């Protein structure tokens, strides 16, 4: 038996085989090859694999979102065998006697550059498709596992840590839980685990070894304990926890369909945080009453170039339609800081959390902003879409955002494209500046949503990604709770509602404080909805106090 201790970042207990994430270096080098026919055969096999994968994706998205969502993958499948594209690869093989990986990469770069140089905006956008198709063929040539997991059975996924772009490619149906050497409570791996409702443990360090792959592991996401091949006594303890966990899940199912209301009649909205359209199923299965945070940056992280208006529109539309008229709050991209995107070509910064990120990028790059706003407003015709701007510090920023919104609405009206002109506009309250300016900001928007992770970081001067800070990074700090109260008072004074979309919203110990402060909405991971509902329905709002604000 081997015991390891880390930090639990997503609750739950599970057991299964340990599997290490397969990461591709992505590097292609040129080699001289004599057997050109052999390279051609490898190309044909990789093409066939790629077409099969793309056709499967087309069927999946057709079933989930309709024909329009499937068209992209069908188009990609056709281009894999495009005559000009394939001829370009074959010519490189025959003329340069190179390996097929290099020939495919060169052809992809040549065609992508050709499309990018065209005058037509639609054709320019196809450059990203070429890059995506080329990457898929290369992955199949190089044996990179689709979805990052080469296993027939579900596994506990281990890694040093996972980047945001890597979490997007995972085959979530094969993951029982996560354990990582590095990471922290607000890492993207932790956020994904909480969205999926599965346990996760980070900070295991060198104790987590690649040699352990294939061994049976049991993990407890509350205590942070990992046990490999447990003895009978330890195994029995895990089995008892698993049984209690299942009983609790069954009990929580009785909360489905119940109102989110306290014993004395105080209503509070329970919404969910998601990172992609695929997460909507978790919202619905956990009876979330809306989406309080759709992190749109994950569309950018998953792409090899700026996602087009049409690609974004289809994503937002699918979520709006799936939610059946319930509110869907879509945050404009929080790119920068820990979410770096290569094709944005951001300057390396000493302190990126304080630098060019989120709304600052959008206001500096109006065409990128305009493309997303057009997609968002178009999607507003298919459901109750709301738009939220992150990292706000000033009144002028909100005015500029609203000016951009008005410009886009005027364009869509002129083009005869339907949209909802009453689409709600909100802002993230996640900087001390936004708290101090809350009353002025509340006059300009329809709602506030407090991002407690960043608010804690900026208020306490603690890097949220630094594991060494320990108790110094304290979301329960009275300064954070007082900031919440200041924002709530300002919101209600101007007649708008206020929510929390940070991880703190799911903290049951703070629910009485949130009720006392006057928080109107909590947006949490889908798995947190039913436990929160149960706690709300046992609460008496009038008896809740502000004692935690006193320090």
Query: In degrees rounded to 5, what are phi and psi of residue 160?
Result: -65, -50
Q: Which of 76, 98, 188, 227 is catalytic?
A: 188
Active site residue 97: no
Active site residue 188: yes
187: enclosing H helix or E strand = none
How far apart CA 348 and CA 473 sit, in angstroms, is 25
What's residue 68's pLDDT?
A: 63
442: enclosing H helix or E strand = helix 438-442
Provide the b/e sequence for 366-394 (b: ≥16 CB within 10 Å): eebbbbbbbbbbbbbebbbbbbbbbbbbe
What's residue 165's pLDDT?
A: 65
List the pLDDT tens digit at each of the 551 positions of the chain: 999 999 999 999 999 999 998 776 567 889 999 999 999 999 999 999 999 989 988 887 677 656 666 787 888 999 999 999 999 999 999 999 999 999 999 999 999 999 888 887 677 768 878 988 998 899 889 877 766 788 889 999 999 888 776 777 788 889 999 999 987 776 778 888 988 889 999 999 999 999 999 999 999 999 999 999 999 999 999 999 999 999 998 989 999 999 999 999 999 999 999 999 989 999 999 999 999 999 999 889 888 788 999 999 999 999 999 999 999 999 999 987 777 788 888 888 878 788 888 999 999 999 999 999 999 999 999 999 999 999 999 999 999 999 999 999 999 999 999 999 999 999 999 999 999 999 999 999 999 999 999 999 999 998 877 766 778 989 999 999 999 999 999 999 999 999 999 889 999 999 999 999 999 999 999 999 999 999 999 999 999 999 999 87
How far apart CA 246 and CA 308 sit, in angstroms, is 43
CB 448 within 8 A of CB 390: no
CB 374 within 8 A of CB 332: no
Residues paired with 291 in a beta bridge: 272, 328
What's residue 388's pLDDT?
A: 98
What's residue 64's pLDDT?
A: 61
95: enclosing H helix or E strand = helix 83-96
Cα distances (Å, whole numbers) of residue 392 to 10, 55, 423, 432, 449: 29, 42, 19, 10, 11
CB 437 within 8 A of CB 395: yes
Q: In which residue are the tokens 């110094």 written?
A: 472
Strands 291-295 and 269-274: parallel
What's residue 195's pLDDT?
A: 86
Say how many CA atoms lie within 13 Å of 25 toward its Cβ: 4
Provide the whole-model pTM.
0.77
How far apart CA 148 and CA 342 sit, in angstroms, is 21
Q: Which of 202, 401, 405, 501 is catalytic?
A: 501
What's residue 533's pLDDT?
A: 97
What's residue 45's pLDDT?
A: 95
Using DSSP, state whether 384 is helix, strand or coil. coil
How far apart CA 509 and CA 301 sit, in angstroms, is 34
């Amino acid at each position: 038996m081997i015991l390891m201790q880390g930090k639990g970042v997503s609750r739950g207990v599970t057991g299964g085989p340990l599997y290490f994430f397969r990461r591709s270096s992505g590097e292609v080098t040129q080699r001289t090859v004599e057997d050109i026919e052999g390279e051609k055969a490898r190309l044909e096999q990789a093409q066939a694999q790629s077409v099969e994968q793309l056709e499967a994706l087309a069927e999946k998205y057709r079933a989930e979102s309709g024909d329009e969502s499937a068209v992209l993958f069908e188009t990609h499948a056709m281009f894999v065998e495009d005559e000009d594209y394939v001829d370009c690869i074959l010519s490189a093989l025959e003329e340069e006697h190179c390996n097929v990986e290099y020939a495919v990469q060169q052809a992809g770069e040549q065609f992508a550059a050709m499309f990018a140089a065209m005058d037509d905006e639609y054709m320019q956008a196809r450059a990203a498709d070429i890059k995506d198709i080329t990457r898929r063929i290369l992955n199949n040539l190089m044996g990179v596992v689709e979805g990052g997991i080469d296993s027939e059975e579900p596994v506990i996924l281990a890694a040093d840590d996972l980047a945001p772009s890597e979490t997007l490619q995972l085959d979530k149906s094969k993951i029982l839980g996560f354990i990582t050497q590095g990471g922290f409570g607000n890492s993207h791996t932790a956020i994904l685990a909480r969205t999926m409702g599965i346990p996760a443990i980070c900070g295991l360090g060198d104790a987590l070894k690649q040699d352990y792959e294939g061994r049976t592991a049991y993990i407890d996401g509350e205590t942070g304990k990992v046990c490999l091949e447990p003895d009978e006594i330890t195994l029995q303890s895990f089995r008892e926890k698993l049984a209690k966990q299942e009983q609790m899940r069954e009990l929580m199912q009785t909360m489905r369909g119940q109102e989110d209301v306290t014993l004395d009649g105080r209503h509070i909205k329970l919404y969910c945080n998601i990172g992609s359209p695929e997460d909507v199923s978790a919202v619905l299965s956990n009876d979330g009453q809306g989406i309080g945070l759709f992190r749109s940056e994950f569309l950018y992280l998953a792409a090899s170039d700026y996602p087009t208006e049409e690609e974004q529109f289809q994503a937002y539309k699918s979520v709006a339609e799936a939610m059946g008229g319930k509110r869907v709050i879509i945050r404009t991209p929080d790119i920068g800081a820990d979410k770096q995107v290569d094709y944005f070509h951001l300057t390396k910064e000493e302190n990126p959390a304080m630098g060019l990120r989120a709304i600052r990028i959008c206001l500096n790059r109006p065409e990128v902003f305009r493309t997303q706003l057009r997609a968002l407003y178009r999607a507003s015709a298919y459901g109750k879409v709301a738009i939220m701007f992150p990292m706000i510090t000033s009144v002028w920023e909100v005015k500029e955002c609203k000016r951009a919104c008005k410009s886009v609405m005027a364009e869509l009206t002129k083009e005869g494209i339907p949209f909802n002109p009453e689409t709600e506009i909100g802002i993230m309250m996640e900087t001390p500046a936004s708290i101090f300016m809350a009353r002025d900001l509340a006059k300009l928007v329809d709602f506030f949503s407090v991002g407690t992770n960043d608010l804690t970081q900026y208020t306490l001067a603690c890097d949220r990604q630094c594991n060494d800070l320990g108790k110094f990074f304290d979301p329960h700090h009275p300064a954070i709770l007082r900031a919440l109260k200041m924002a709530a008072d300002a919101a209600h004074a101007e007649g708008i509602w206020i929510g929390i979309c940070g991880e703190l919203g799911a903290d049951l110990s703070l629910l009485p404080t949130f009720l006392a402060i006057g928080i109107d909405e909590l947006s949490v991971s889908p798995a947190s909805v039913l436990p929160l509902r149960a706690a709300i329905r046992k609460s008496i709002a009038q008896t809740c106090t502000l004692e935690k604000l006193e320090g």
